[in-house]
Amino acid sequence: MIRRPPRSTPKPSSAASDVYKRQASFALGRLNPATIGHELLVDAIKKEEGDSFLFLTDRAPKLPKDPLTSQDKLDWARKSFNGISIGLAKTVLIAADRLYKMGYKDIVYLEGIDPEKPFPLSKLIKDYNGVPKELHDYNFNSIRVVQLPRDASAADASGMSGTKMREYVQNNDIEGFKTGVTQSAQPYAKEMFKKLQGIMGVDPVEEGIFDLISFSGDEMEEKYIPFVIKNIRRYGDKRTKALLMKKFPDIKPVDANRAVKQALDIIAKRG
């Protein structure tokens, strides 16, 4: 079910009003989970003329890329974004069909540029316009496509993704996870983090365990030991040591051994 965003101001009763009524701008994505990176897409949709829609792929959860159910994704997206109608659709063609049946005659489809996917979804939308099928039957007057550049390696919001959020969960990094959560969803960040931990089988770090470390500014105490504590129960000491040396390439082997030993001592004291 699509929820329309409330209108804060009435639309003008002019020719522009008619365009607004018959045009819809939308995008489709997995958003598992939604992030500040997706918020940039939402903002771009809302800048286009007409009504704004965001469709989430309606598919069964499957690890590792799709941990959340469709309903969980939908609930989280609605907490993350304001001023846009958000719903579920199994495919982009079904999303287009739904908009057509709602009375829209012109659409704008926004999609990210992905060099690894040379066959964009926008081509499907255009190819099936006016081609009736059992699951979709639409015939828009116009279909305009807006392609948005994206740098997955960027350190700002443009590089944030569901993949990075799941990595934060895998690494028991709640603070990193929060950096990818939109402002409106911040009050629910810890709840979603724990939900994903449970689904992904990540053992949480006990509350207060870091109180046993005396943080003095030493890299051993500020970086190495906390990293080991977060990962050792899942990966074991040998694998965790290898991950530690990969994440901190300047660490000496003797310090990596010390970090593992001290982390194990802290966990043992905690009981």
Q: Whole-prediction pTM value?
A: 0.71
Cα Dmax for the chain: 74
Could you state, in chain order, the average pLDDT of each consecutive group of 10 residues for the chain (271 residues)? 49 49 92 96 96 96 93 97 97 98 97 77 96 97 94 88 93 92 97 92 61 53 82 84 88 86 82 60
Helices (H), 81-119: 92-101
Listed residue (97, 77, 79) closest to 89, CA to CA? 97
Q: Exposed/middle/buried for 133, CB within 10 Å: 0-12, 13-18, 19+?
A: exposed
Listed residue (1, 64, 86, 44) closest to 199, CA to CA? 64
Listed residue (54, 65, 34) closest to 157, CA to CA? 34
pLDDT of residue 79: 98
